[in-house]
Amino acid sequence: MDKNKLSIQSYKGTRDFYPQDMSYRNWYFSTVRHVVESYGYEEYHSPLLESYDIYAAKSGDEVANEQLYLFKDKGGRKVAIRPEMTPSVARMVAARLESLTLPLRWYSIANFLRYEKPQKGRLREHWQVNVDILGSEEIEADLEIILVITSIMRAFHADDAMFRIKIGNRKFFNDVLTDILKVKKEQVGVISKAVDKKTKLSKEKYHEWLKDIGLTGKTIEQLEEIFSLSFAEITRMMGIDSEGAQELYKLFLLLQKIGLDTYCEFDFSIIRGFDYYTGTVFEVYDTSVENRRSLFGGGRYDNLVGMFKDITISGIGFGLGDVTFQQFLELHNLIPVDIIKQKKVLIARFLDISFEHCFTLSEELRKANIANTIYLSPDHKLGKQIRFAEKKGFSVLLILGEDELKKGKVTIKHLDSRTQIQVERGLCIEKIKELL
Ligand code: HAM
């Protein structure tokens, strides 16, 4: 490597998106966009930079302290690059509360930065589709969010053997801990943090963490047993009427009624890392063991808008990450081959034909919505221009030489089928449309 040259690597944990990657990404985003808009969700967006305070309050230690890209701006403000969208959407809702008609169905597609150790399924910059309902406490809102997830999966032709929606409930988790395990209320938060990290830690480390919190060996054993029990078995052990249990019960009943229960399962260990979740929490997993991290993550948050205004507006939604989702689509062969190849037209150039002839043809095609490009070097031989067109994946090469101009015709070289025809200039657009 030449030591005088700068590195060609993008910043650690980020990706460059070359045109081919953008073809994939645009296809992926437009497929999701189409689904969420079909449910009436409206798109919003927020700035890349936010005040540190909006993460400090309720995002939880991991994101707010360990993973935040944080700096002081020239005015001395503590500024963060957004690591997620939910606090921003809560801020936006709080800012226009008087003029917004609730409930809101909003979605966004944006990039986020988290200072993480880059590894499979985890990068420093990733993109998320965020879909949220704000201003409804109805369990039907929880149901709709799950419904949107299954619709997105179906739009990519994923079947129920390929993914699982694992659903838990924060209130239920807290009730089980205090009612069955007799854990002190103030210990619940830290225990949930340990449980959230359970699958990422060795058994020893996880147990050590629980012991440090103050759990006895017996309580740790009991907690372990609860993970293996069904929802009905856990509720039978409870001595209280748990609101979280009621919510889970109603949600699963509705899911069953509309036939979505085949995709879903109750999972006591789904906690979610953010402190702001208060009710339903869920994660969507690829069933393939090669893609272990969640595809979607989300849940209900009752108090986020309350950080900005003296009001309680409940929200529920999810973030769908692009990194694990691409792995999912690749593993299950769900990316169509033709999204990469754009059908394009190239207009050849010749030294004895002036540029304006090609320009006029190009403009006519563009008006007819046929994307086209004019070759830049008239001194290149036709063979070289054809090779260029093939390499670049053009489907059609148009030849407007001396002979064609004299006859009022255009030669259309269809590169995909390696055939060639000469047509009247007036019929050119129609013929190209047939070929593309
Ligand atoms: P989250 O679980 O942190 O939730 O992120 C949602 C999804 O984004 C994850 O399931 C994962 O696919 C992806 N993701 C997160 N971090 C990374 C990373 N470092 N690299 C690659 N992919 C990543 C939230 O962000 C919530 N704010 C979502 C939400 C919306 N909850 C309610 N509404």
Q: What is the pLDDT of residues 237-295, one digit of tens each?
A: 998 899 999 999 999 999 999 999 999 999 999 999 899 999 999 999 999 999 989 99
Which long-range contacts (C-beta less than 8 Å, at least 24 apart) are formed by 5-14? 11/124, 11/125, 12/118, 12/124, 13/116, 13/118, 13/123, 13/124, 13/125, 14/123, 14/124, 14/125
In this structure, what token pair is assigned to residue 48?
């890349």
Q: Which residue has the least CA distance to atom 24 on ligand 1?
A: 319
Q: Which residue has the higher pLDDT, 412 or 56?
A: 412
**Helix-then-strand count for the chain, H and E:** 16, 16
**Rounded mean pLDDT of 223-243?**
93
Q: How far is the CA of 296 from the centre of ligand 1 (A)?
A: 7
pLDDT digits over 9-35, tens only?
Answer: 999 999 999 998 999 999 999 999 999
Q: How far apart are CA 409 and CA 423, in angstroms?
A: 5
The pTM assigned to this predicted structure is 0.93
pLDDT at 6 over 90: yes
**What confidence score (pLDDT) does residue 1 get?**
62
Q: How far is the CA of 95 from the centre of ligand 1 (A)?
A: 24
Mutate to test the pocket of ligand 1, among 84, 145, 283, 326 (most ligand atoms within 8 A of CB): 84
Q: How far apart are CA 301 and CA 311, in angstroms?
A: 13
**What confidence score (pLDDT) does residue 339 get?**
77
For residue 71, give the 3-state DSSP assignment. strand
In this structure, what token pair is assigned to residue 12?
């650690």
Q: How far is the CA of 255 from the centre of ligand 1 (A)?
A: 24
Q: How far apart are CA 243 and CA 31, in angstroms?
A: 37
**What confidence score (pLDDT) does residue 364 get?**
96
- Which residues' Cβ are closer than 6 Å to ligand 1? 84-86, 114, 116, 122-123, 126, 128, 130, 132, 294-299, 317-319, 321, 323-324
pLDDT digits over 379-406, tens only?
Answer: 999 999 999 999 998 999 999 999 999 9
Q: State the pLDDT confidence band at 60, using cuts at 50, 70 and 90.
A: confident
